[in-house]
Amino acid sequence: MKTYSKILITIFFSASLFLGCEATRNANNKQKGAVIGATSGAVIGGVIGNNVGDKNNTALGAIIGAVVGGVAGGYIGDRMDRQAERIEEEIPGAEVTRVGEGINVVFDESSGVYFDTNKYNINTKSAATLDKLAGIFKEYPDTNILVEGHTDNTGADDYNMTLSKQRAQSVTSYLSSKGVSSGRFTTNWYGENQPKYDNNTVEGRAKNRRVELAIIANEQMKQEAMEKAKN
């Protein structure tokens, strides 16, 4: 699985030093869920979530902001480990990052879900990838999914905002049509406003034309984790 972005590593490290959680740097994925919040629970999750979410990656902000922490967080982290592994197995081109108690998945033009220029319909290759993803989501029903649409900076801002909305909604609608409950989805769009790569290069623009997912525990999984933590 891919590592965190540099900004997220910096935020985690700084928060860990402040709250005495430096051990998260070397923890495995399951332990990360338990250690985050062991000293402060939702406080560290909220601080990191707000900082990341207000800047360049709301998907990561949503994941960290939804942290439970402690033993329950470790249980959720273990479940997310398995789901992330399934996504990597079935969709090897996707950029899959385990973050705290959730999963961040990024699809760009080289990783299975992409759109033709100025289009927002799901093409044949994207459909094949989303079919696999829908199957995994049905295997793991106790999660909520944030779908985000992004573009590069080519063209007018208003046009890009509309295009990112149409693309994000296309992904959500397609997954719902394959039997994933529509109630699990939140769909957002940001046009060209949240680039992750350099828009001055061809490669950077291609990567910025992306759909990004955040997968987090729903209330049922959180309650199950809390019950397990009591035993």
pLDDT digits (tens, 9 = 90+) for 177-202: 999 999 999 999 999 999 989 999 99
Decide if 1 is inside a domain. Answer: no
| Number of structural domains found in the chain | 1
Q: For 107-135, what is each residue's pLDDT tens digit?
A: 987 778 988 878 899 999 999 999 999 99
Decide if 225 is inside a domain. Answer: yes
Give the domain range for residue 102: 6-230
* DSSP designation for 231: -
Decide if 183 is inside a domain. Answer: yes
Using CA atoms, how far apart are residues 79 and 56, in angstroms rounded to an integer?
27
Mean pLDDT calculated for residue range 210-229: 94
Q: Which range scores top for mean pLDDT: 17-31, 56-70, 193-207?
A: 193-207
Query: pTM for the complete prediction?
Result: 0.78
pLDDT confidence of residue 108: 82
CATH of the domain at 126: 3.30.1330.60
DSSP 129-158: HHHHHHHHHHHS-SEEEEEEE---SSS-HH
Decide if 177 is inside a domain. Answer: yes
Decide if 169 is inside a domain. Answer: yes
Confidence of residue 22 (pLDDT cuts 50, 70, 90): very low
pLDDT at 89 over 90: yes
Decide if 118 is inside a domain. Answer: yes
The radius of gyration of the chain's CA atoms, rounded to the nearest angstrom, is: 17
Decide if 83 is inside a domain. Answer: yes
When the pLDDT of each residue in the chain is averaged and rounded to a whole number, the result is 81
pLDDT confidence of residue 103: 97
